[in-house]
Structure 1
Amino acid sequence: MTGPQPPADPDRPGTGHPQPHPSGTPAHHRTTHPATHPTAAGATLVIGATGTTGSRVARRLLALGHPVTAASRGAAAPTEGAGPDQPPAPTDGASPDRPTAPPDGTAPTHGSVPPPRARPVRFDWYDPTTFTAALARAERVYLVPPVSEPDPLPVMLPFLRQARAAGAGRAVLLSSSAVPAGGPAIGQVHAALGELFDTWSAVRPSWFMQNFTGRHPHAARGRGDGLLSTATGTGRVAFVDADDIAAVAVHALTADPPPAADLVVTGPEALSYAEAAAVLSEFAGRPISHAPISVPELRDRLAAHLPPAYAAFLADLDGAIAAGAEDRVTDTVTRLTGRPPRTFRDHLAAHRGALAPLSPRA
């Protein structure tokens, strides 16, 4: 894909002057839905635990001493009585962390098995029989929406209600900087969280830096023909590293008091795709350029492998970037983690091997 993807990254053109994001509304602490079955182990259920952000969230939680249930479509169900320290079972490839709006889009980067010491469980948004085992002992949930689902709320709502009834009191949703609460797709899920959970946050990252160094089409084309095709024009995006997104998500899952409910997460500078291509060229040691296309052309390309309505939604996100929608920088990473977000240059320097050209096919 190009531009925004079911986990791609948005760009916002604009004045070139980053606009600070407001601190957002306070997280909701509701008393109308008391947890009926408080969990003993206080585990955090991480959905998409082998994906781009989920794997990082799980590892950070474990490093802090929090029990983790690592849920993915490929994870083998744990044996009866298995606890958080049970070694992970191999999987046959779990779904990547990809919110139904723009930012992520890369395939799993930490392998297809849950992290060591996590309790692995199989989870599928479309299979309610996987819900109960995943929610065992879960007090908190990290929610990665179903991949490429144009209307995720009806798919996710049964699980969210079951999670609330099972005792999960805090939820953190991976959403998108491009989609506010009440907006299309994942924005509807964002808007529903306050009616379901005592404490909740929506982590809304900009487009991922990993889109240029992982398995995203941008990375593949950059290593192949050296072209990045988007409909973003000269619009800019404050690309963000997945490690910074995970750090914010872990803070939202564990902090007391919790942070704001609406957390827009960006990198430290906004770049156009042409500017990003120039930096990529420098680190790759070969020319990589931005090849602008129109929104209709992008829509048609995406529709070749995505539902038409979802392809149109993603293409329109590129159009929004061209109009300046993502040309902003927030202080979320610094404010919540105490350190600045990673720069695009630092990310590329740490992933030089991912910029090597693809070998010619025989």
Structure 2
Amino acid sequence: MGIYKFVGCFGSGVLVNYFQSVFTQQINPLIDGIATRLLPWTILQDLVANEQGILTLGMRYVITIILPITTTFFLIFSILEESGYLPRISLLIDHLFKMIGLSGRSIIPLILGLNCSSAGSLVTRTMESKRERFIISLLLALAIPCSAQLGIFIGLLSQNFMALIVWAICIAFIFAIIGSLTAKALPGSWSYFYMEIPPLRLPHLRSTLTKTYNRIRWYLSEVIPLFLLGSVIIWLGNLIGLLPWLVHSLEPIMLKLELPKQASSMFIYGFFRRDYGAARMFDLHHAGLLEGRQLVVSAVTLTLFIPCLSQFRFMLRERGLKTTITLSSLVIIFAFSMGYILNKILLVLEVI
């Protein structure tokens, strides 16, 4: 509940709303005006400013959405790490994880996956068997949201607590079922797990803040170039007509999910970065296009959707082309199928 209040209500609510208002009311109009005066061609103006420019979209997402959410999340994560509680989580879930063919050691790449799925995928090489590495890679690609994505979902869904509960139950259920079925389908068994447990202690303020700062600096150094690159790719896609074609191609699926056709852009953005797709979902909600049941369906489908370009690259390097393509194809089909089923269930139950 404390994490929900701090990350969801304070980070995704108070801080994000404040920075968003500053950007949309003051900074973006200023950038648009400067771009109009200095750049004579509309094409270049669209690259830098206007609706999907490098500064007005890419940097706005980083500063107004990603930065406040990841800062609050990393601060909580550092407090848990400093207190010595994370190793205890590994032991607590060791028995549960054996049901899906894993050991408590697997919590490390999964927790790192909450930070960034790419980091989680990289750490899977420490697992003892190819079987465990495959299961963890599948779960990271399918059911583990990254920190910014998680924070945005908590922030949006916390406006309706039942929506947040439904999303959490869906992801936990899918995590357990997919892990269990995969463990039964693959030959082998879980490995034994031993760990030294450090004593519980009060977190040191300086150490906690240093770890938080280092994680934020590392994350922003990775995310800023990718978000700017994403803005350039979106600009090029609009320029040559590829992006409108992709958006139009996904519109029939959006109609099946009973989402607005604009929601297709969430999934296209989400392939560049998971948090990019979540930030687009945040924009659509604030534009009044996603509410209630649609938010839950969007959040579940985005969580399950194909891993971002960065994780896709790591999976390709660590697992090979065949495994990566197979996992990604299955994830896309599964994500949209689960979104469709969830939407029908929520329509019948009318809980949201």
Interval containing the TM-score (normalised by the shorter chain): under 0.3
Higher strand share: 1
TM-score normalised by L of structure 2: 0.27
Higher relative contact order (CA 8 A, sep 6+): 1
Higher helix share: 2
